[in-house]
Structure 1
């Protein structure tokens, strides 16, 4: 039984993709998450940061996102464990949204798009957690891959 899913073997059973024969290349992925913030939360900001009893929201979300990217293979089944060369997260207010960008880099045999997506997602969840005392009307609107390079199929 042939299939096009790399995480399934010929019998349809789950498998980790064998990347042993691939060459080491520089891999970069960028992902974005957006969090809708209602007016009650936006009113709490001083400039581009909000400090709550739990601490500085964006600073904490950046640290959490980096930690999330590093733990991706523990969270997503069949992801390869990668040595990350770098993980950068930026968070900007755009209108009524916090826009999170996570850029992950490695030199390896497989890409880092799952790490970038996980980093952006964990940062978004951290913003929600730290701001929920003000309102539960926040919405994590979208998490998406912006670009990836260094593999067989570059995007963006």
Structure 2
């Protein structure tokens, strides 16, 4: 009878609407990642044998999180990076550019977090290089990074 048709269609329509919305959100996030990677390319530099890189898309952030077994691939970091609340930066050994090594979070001209595999803390060499990176970045862009919309 007809009473069974309606709910099924409503659920299907709802699922399709949710799927479309999620796709749109992903597209917005993708565009924001690309935009931020372009706007903040001054953050990408080599310091003392380490390469500092920006994630080009959310997938890279997810892969980084999986590879290093840390929460940087979670949706809160993806959204915070996409909307400019915070900036996630990948650190690679200059000799192994494809291999996740450490990840840092940069916000309000400071390094908020710097972690490697399973949230391991950085050794003094990487800390030194990261502080050098921070100094250069803050000199380059002053306080402007916070106002990237």
- Structure ranking higher on relative contact order (CA contacts 8 Å, 6+ apart): 1
Q: Bigger radius of gyration, 1 or 2?
A: 2
Normalising TM by the smaller chain, what interval? Answer: under 0.3
TM-score, normalised by the number of residues in structure 1:
0.25
Taking structure 2 as the reference length, the TM-score comes to 0.26
More helix by share: 2
Structure number having the greater strand percentage: 1
